[in-house]
């Protein structure tokens, strides 16, 4: 059975080390290169006392969240990341193994919804937020979640996707080379300058573990202005398309 959701994009922002502007991303999408592992955005819109709690993943995610929202308030958010704050979690486990006292701040910022919560606190915004992880199909499931909120009557939903390379501890188990990046879409049921669709159905074949990580692959599709993208992840065949 084939299923499909459609949505409009009211605002967009993306950031990765060495890639900040629309022109940067268009050039990368035309000829993708490996994104450097190091580098963080300034997140100048966030108060410094809160900003200093963020790691690379959080800074990238909130940089694009602020950019796509453009001052709007009361907008529910869906944050998604396949791996989340894995480096923080590994550091905490290593401290436990050596008997080192754990940092309450590090622990609080290691959970999957930490960045979404900090974003809410920084802006004094009590709108609903969700943090989601769903393996290699994390972004697709986040889009479905956001579209569900739109179908329930929300006028707009902010989708934020971010990921970083895994710590060396997990290198033997990685199924693809992760690269640091984040992007955000301010989504609506109608309106906006662009409209996208996401369709899916069960896939019999296994996943292709080559090429770009899933979220980055979709970002390339978007930044390049491509008409379609098809990929297999999470036992589903996903079809992204532009509706005009």
**pLDDT at residue 244 tops 70:** no
Structure confidence by residue, pLDDT tens digits, 42-65: 999 999 999 999 999 999 999 999
Structure confidence by residue, pLDDT tens digits, 193-222: 899 999 999 998 777 666 788 899 999 999
Q: Is residue 10 very low, low, confident or very high in pLDDT (cuts 50, 70, 90)?
A: very high
Report if pTM > 0.75.
yes
Q: What is the domain partition of the chain in residue ranges?
A: 3-195
Among 205, 201, 208, 193, residue whose Cα is nearest residue 236: 201
* CATH architecture under which domain 3-195 falls: 3-Layer(aba) Sandwich (3.40)
Structure confidence by residue, pLDDT tens digits, 103-147: 888 888 888 899 999 999 999 999 999 999 999 999 999 999 999
Report the 10 Å Cβ neighbour count for 164. 23
Q: 197: number of CA atoms within 13 Å, CB side?
A: 12
Give me the pLDDT at residue 218, please: 96
User: Lowest-pLDDT range, 70-84, 86-100, 111-125, 181-195?
Assistant: 86-100
The average pLDDT across 162-184 equals 90
Cβ neighbours for 52, distance < 8 A, ≥ 6 positions apart: none
User: Lowest-pLDDT range, 11-20, 163-172, 219-228, 230-239?
Assistant: 163-172
How far is Cα 182 from Cα 3, in angstroms, rounded to an integer? Answer: 27
Q: Is residue 224 very low, low, confident or very high in pLDDT (cuts 50, 70, 90)?
A: very high
How far is Cα 136 from Cα 215, in angstroms, rounded to an integer? Answer: 8
Among 173, 161, 34, residue whose Cα is nearest residue 90: 173
Q: 98: number of CA atoms within 13 Å, CB side?
A: 8
CA 135 to chain centre: 12
């Amino acid at each position: 059975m084939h299923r499909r959701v459609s949505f409009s994009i009211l605002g967009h922002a993306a950031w990765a080390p060495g890639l900040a502007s629309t022109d940067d991303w268009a050039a990368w999408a035309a000829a993708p290169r490996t994104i450097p592992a190091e580098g963080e955005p300034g997140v100048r819109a966030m108060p410094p006392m809160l900003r200093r709690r963020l790691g690379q993943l959080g800074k990238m995610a909130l940089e694009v969240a602020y950019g796509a929202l453009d001052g709007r308030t009361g907008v529910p958010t869906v944050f998604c990341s396949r791996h989340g704050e894995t480096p923080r979690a590994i550091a905490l486990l290593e401290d436990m193994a050596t008997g080192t006292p754990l940092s309450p701040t590090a622990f609080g910022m290691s959970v999957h919804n930490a960045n979404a919560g900090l974003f809410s606190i920084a802006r004094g915004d009590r709108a609903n937020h969700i943090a989601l992880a769903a393996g290699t199909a994390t972004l697709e499931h986040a889009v479905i979640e956001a579209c569900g909120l739109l179908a329930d009557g929300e006028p707009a939903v902010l989708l934020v996707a971010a990921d970083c390379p895994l710590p060396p501890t997990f290198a033997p188990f990685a199924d693809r080379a992760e690269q640091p990046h984040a992007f955000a879409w301010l989504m609506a049921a109608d309106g906006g300058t662009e409209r996208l669709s996401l369709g899916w159905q069960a896939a019999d074949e296994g996943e292709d573990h080559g090429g770009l990580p899933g979220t980055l692959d979709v970002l390339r599709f978007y930044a390049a202005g491509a008409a379609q993208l098809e990929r297999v992840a999470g036992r589903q065949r996903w079809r992204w398309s532009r509706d005009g």
